[in-house]
């Protein structure tokens, strides 16, 4: 067993030093009735080679996104991640370190988090950001709870075009905590009427842009109405790259901005681990959930960084904490931050521009296929098409032809009558050949 350094001789020597006969003596506090004398019913230890073989075989049963023309989005996006990002996050000192509770020997992580917080604040157009959340969906749930604390009101209003799995997370958390949530039905064509639901009981309005169908939403009138009624606007995004080209939620009046940072620096990973981005105005910082890195000085007056404002957190406040979260997605935040540093403002803008251009080209190519209608007017790198057959079957048939063509709306919204819609994403990874292959395959499937 290559992971266990103690030899039998070591164990004997240690038993002798402790003054016990063997391991059973050390488990004496465990009630005898709960002892398990036989091994559990699982296979015995395997060698490195055997494990590698077994898991490679399993991995081989999946269609890797990079092996086919790939257009799947709806909350997770495939972008090119520079090789240096994965190399750097695998450095032991980042990968195998713990939460930086001893700041003198964790300045690497703490400085990175301080830089990350600044990058996220800049990206979202907000004043302050935290050191990351589990992911975009759980961050959205926490944002709604934060709005309840800030406004002392109970009713959250959710736009119908919020990613339905984000919506499910918010509704679950709110319901379990005894709060009220009003959710509109999804509106793939046209605009939903979130404004009409804002009143003096509203704690917050939650709006996603680009929304789950890819539509860009102008948040300014919503922010205006929310603020007029003393409610907060929570802006959500699932595609961080969009903020390189599209107006920032902060500039459009959002009070809390929360989103998924996966698409910068992080792979698809079948849904996780991802990295939630969370930003707000400075005046709300003490109600923010999650960790914060802050700047200070050491005993010699040198600049250094620490985790701070921990009086919001559960290890001090226990049941009075702002949330029960005691971790963040540190390594994913690091990947985000490195990729962002490699991009810089110019690189991010260019990347976003390429994404948009590829989406526009793809939308044109698909709209030219008989039986396809494009639903979006304003979009970033994702849009929705109506097809002349059941969307789930179309996507399945495309997969059989070796094209992963998007997400049927029925996968996300189970019963909604929109069973002819497919959400399609294009990023910088798509080539002219990919687009041509998609259009050709779609034409065959719909013929």
Site for another protein in 187-226 (CB under 8 A): 216, 218
Candidate residues 151, 156, 161, 166; the one interacting with another protein per rule CB under 8 A = 166
Placement of tokens 């948009």 in the chain: 356
Candidate residues 155, 160, 171, 284; the one interacting with another protein per rule CB under 8 A = 171
Q: What number of other Cβ atoms are within 10 A of residue 399's Cβ? A: 14
Of 48 and 447, nearer to another protein (C-beta) is: 48
The reply on whether position 278 binds another protein by CB under 8 A is no
From CA 200, how far away is CA 151, in angstroms rounded? 11
| Contact region with another protein (CB under 8 A), list: 153-161, 189-197, 224-232, 292-300 | 292-300
Of 198 and 404, nearer to another protein (C-beta) is: 404
| Contact region with another protein (CB under 8 A), list: 23-31, 149-157, 195-203, 435-443 | 23-31
Tokens (6 digits) for 111 = 């400085």
The reply on whether position 102 binds another protein by CB under 8 A is yes
Inter-residue contact 169 to 140 (CB < 8 Å): yes
Candidate residues 69, 160, 186, 244; the one interacting with another protein per rule CB under 8 A = 244
Subset of residues 298 to 337 that bind another protein, contact rule: CB under 8 A: 298-306, 308-311, 313-321, 323-332, 334
Residue 230 CB, shortest distance to another protein, in Å, is 24
The reply on whether position 128 binds another protein by CB under 8 A is yes
The reply on whether position 157 binds another protein by CB under 8 A is no
Task: Please write down the long-range contacts of 396-399, taking CB distance under 8 Å and 24 or more positions apart.
Answer: 397/445, 398/438, 398/441, 398/442, 398/445, 399/63
Which run of H or of E encompasses 441? helix 432-446
The reply on whether position 433 binds another protein by CB under 8 A is no
Candidate residues 152, 190, 370, 414; the one interacting with another protein per rule CB under 8 A = 414
For residue 209, what is the DSSP state? Answer: S
**Among 383, 400, 384, residue whose Cα is nearest residue 445:** 400
How close are the terminal C-alpha atoms of the chain, in Å? Answer: 58
The reply on whether position 387 binds another protein by CB under 8 A is no
Inter-residue contact 131 to 261 (CB < 8 Å): no
Candidate residues 21, 35, 370, 447; the one interacting with another protein per rule CB under 8 A = 35
**Among 393, 328, 147, residue whose Cα is nearest residue 255:** 147
Tokens (6 digits) for 25 = 């003596």
Of 195 and 309, nearer to another protein (C-beta) is: 309
How many Cα atoms occupy the beta-carbon half-sphere of 86 within 13 Å? 6
Of 226 and 359, nearer to another protein (C-beta) is: 359
Placement of tokens 């230890």 in the chain: 45
Of 227 and 349, nearer to another protein (C-beta) is: 349
Strands 128-129 and 407-408 come out as unpaired
Tokens (6 digits) for 315 = 């290890």
Residue 136 CB, shortest distance to another protein, in Å, is 7
Candidate residues 29, 152, 190, 433; the one interacting with another protein per rule CB under 8 A = 29
What are the E-state strand segments in 313-439?
372-374, 382-387, 407-408, 421-425
The reply on whether position 121 binds another protein by CB under 8 A is yes
Quick one: residue 290, left, alpha or beta (phi over 0 = left, psi -120 to 50 = alpha)?
left
The reply on whether position 393 binds another protein by CB under 8 A is no
Of 230 and 308, nearer to another protein (C-beta) is: 308
The reply on whether position 117 binds another protein by CB under 8 A is yes
The reply on whether position 154 binds another protein by CB under 8 A is no
From CA 257, how far away is CA 274, in angstroms rounded? 17
Candidate residues 21, 190, 270, 433; the one interacting with another protein per rule CB under 8 A = 270
**Dihedral angle, C-alpha 256, 260, 265, 266, nearest 10 °:** 150
The reply on whether position 92 binds another protein by CB under 8 A is yes
Total residues contacting another protein (rule CB under 8 A)? 211
Placement of tokens 């709300």 in the chain: 284
Of 200 and 271, nearer to another protein (C-beta) is: 271
Residue 324 CB, shortest distance to another protein, in Å, is 4
Residue 358 CB, shortest distance to another protein, in Å, is 9
Candidate residues 99, 182, 283, 436; the one interacting with another protein per rule CB under 8 A = 99
Buried residues in 366-384 as b, exposed as e (16+ CB within 10 A)? beebebbebbbeebbbbbb
Of 229 and 286, nearer to another protein (C-beta) is: 286
């Amino acid at each position: 067993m290559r992971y266990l350094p103690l030899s039998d001789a070591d164990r004997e020597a240690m038993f002798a030093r402790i003054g016990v006969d063997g391991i059973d003596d050390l488990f004496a506090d465990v009630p005898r009735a709960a002892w398990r004398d036989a091994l559990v019913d699982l296979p015995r230890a395997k060698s490195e080679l055997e494990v590698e073989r077994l898991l490679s075989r399993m991995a081989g049963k999946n269609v890797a996104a990079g092996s086919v023309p790939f257009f799947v989005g709806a909350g997770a996006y495939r972008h090119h991640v520079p090789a240096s990002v994965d190399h750097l996050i695998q450095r032991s000192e980042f990968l195998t370190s713990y939460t930086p509770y001893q700041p003198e020997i964790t300045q690497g992580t703490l400085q990175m988090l301080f830089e990350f917080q600044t990058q996220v604040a800049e990206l979202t157009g907000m004043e302050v950001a935290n050191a990351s959340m589990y992911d975009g969906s759980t961050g959205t749930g926490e944002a709604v709870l934060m709005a309840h604390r800030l406004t002392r009101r109970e009713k959250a209003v959710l736009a119908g075009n919020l990613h339905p799995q984000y919506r499910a997370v918010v509704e679950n958390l709110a319901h379990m905590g005894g709060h009220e949530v009003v959710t509109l039905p999804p509106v793939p064509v046209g605009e939903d009427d979130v404004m009409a639901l804002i009143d003096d009981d509203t704690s917050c309005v939650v709006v996603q842009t680009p929304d789950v169908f890819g539509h860009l939403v102008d948040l300014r009138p919503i922010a205006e109405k929310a603020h007029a009624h003393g409610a907060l606007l929570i802006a959500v995004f699932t595609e961080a790259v969009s903020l390189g080209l599209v107006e920032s939620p902060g500039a459009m009046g959002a009070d809390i901005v929360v989103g998924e940072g996966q698409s910068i620096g992080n792979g698809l990973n079948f849904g996780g681990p991802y990295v939630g981005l969370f930003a707000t105005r400075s005046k709300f910082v003490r109600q923010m959930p999650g960790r914060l890195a802050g700047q200070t000085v050491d005993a010699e007056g040198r600049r250094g960084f620490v985790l701070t404002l921990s009086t919001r957190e559960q290890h001090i406040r226990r049941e009075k904490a702002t949330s029960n979260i005691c971790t963040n997605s540190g390594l994913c935040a690091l990947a985000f931050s490195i990729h962002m540093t490699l991009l810089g403002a110019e690189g991010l803008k260019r990347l976003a521009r390429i994404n948009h251009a590829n989406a526009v080209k793809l939308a044109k190519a698909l709209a030219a296929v008989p039986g396809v209608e494009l639903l979006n007017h304003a979009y970033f790198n994702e849009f929705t098409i109506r097809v002349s057959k059941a969307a789930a079957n179309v996507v399945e048939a495309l997969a059989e032809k070796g094209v992963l063509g998007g997400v049927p709306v029925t996968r996300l919204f189970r019963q909604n009558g929109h069973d002819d819609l497919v959400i399609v994403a294009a990023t910088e990874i798509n080539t002219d050949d990919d687009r041509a292959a998609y259009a050709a395959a779609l034409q065959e499937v719909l013929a």
